Amino acid sequence: MKCYSDPILRLALILSLALVAGCGGSAPRLAPLAPDAVVLAFGDSITFGTGAGANQSYPAVLASLIGRKVESAGVPGETSEGGLARLPQALDYYQPQLVIICEGGNDFLRKLNEKQTAANIRAMVRAARGKGAAVLLVAVPKPGLLPSPPDFYEEIAGDFAIPLEAAALKKILRDNELKSDLVHPNAKGYASLAQALAEVLKKSGAI
């Protein structure tokens, strides 16, 4: 057996083991979606499907990928404050088993207070779970040369132990072939987002 007496070698070994453990760590789990379950896709123009046809939005594509009914409740131009006010009625109307929350983009465009945006999204997660629905959170990038989501999405997902899809929109909005304008995917981009969300649902045990 090797003896790692050199402090630098020992540190490298510890970091390597930590990386391996992190890669093998289990993602937050979700209850399996019943065959007749309703999934509520809730958000702004990205959920609505701005930049593509109605049957090319991510909720429409996701429904075909997971074999479940996915209701689209996207309102273009909506801020997280507006979403928080609208969500309770949507929960009562659709009675979903799972809610996919994709909010924050319009807050960033309008340069609204990020702490308030985070608080609004936290409240949305609480509202959905309060109605017995599971939640999948989508991280929305802030606009810029290299769009990237704020850290608060990961913090919220960690605090509530819910799945987070943090990479898809960042990748889409950095690729001109996948977007219709600076802040919206095109049909190909929405398909990519739907595929990423389907993979999260598979890994979480929902499907």
In whole angstroms, what is the distance from residue 34 CA to residue 128 CA?
A: 18
**Any domain includes 96:** yes
Give the range of the structural domain holding residue 68, as residue numbers without chain letter: 34-204
Per residue in 4-19, pLDDT (tens digit) is 345 444 444 434 333 3
Q: Is residue 25 part of a domain?
A: no
The answer to the question of residue 3 being in a domain is no
pLDDT digits (tens, 9 = 90+) for 61-84: 999 999 999 999 999 999 999 999
* 9 part of a folded domain: no
Does 20 reside within a domain? Answer: no
State the total domains in the chain: 1
| 29 within a domain of the structure (yes/no) | no
- What integer pLDDT is reported at residue 54 of this predicted model? 84
Total-model pTM: 0.87
Q: What is the CATH number of the domain that holds 116?
A: 3.40.50.1110
Does residue 187 fall inside a structural domain?
yes
- Could you tell me if residue 28 is inside a domain? no
Cβ-count burial of 148 within 10 angstroms (0-12 exposed, 13-18 middle, 19+ buried)?
Answer: middle
The rounded mean pLDDT for the chain is 90
Residues forming a β-bridge with 134: 98
CB contact set of 67 (below 8 Å; sequence gap of 6+): 35, 207
* Distance separating alpha carbons of residues 204 and 129, to the nearest angstrom: 17
pLDDT, tens digit, 9 for 90 and up, residues 100-154: 999 999 999 999 999 999 999 999 999 999 999 999 999 999 998 899 999 999 9
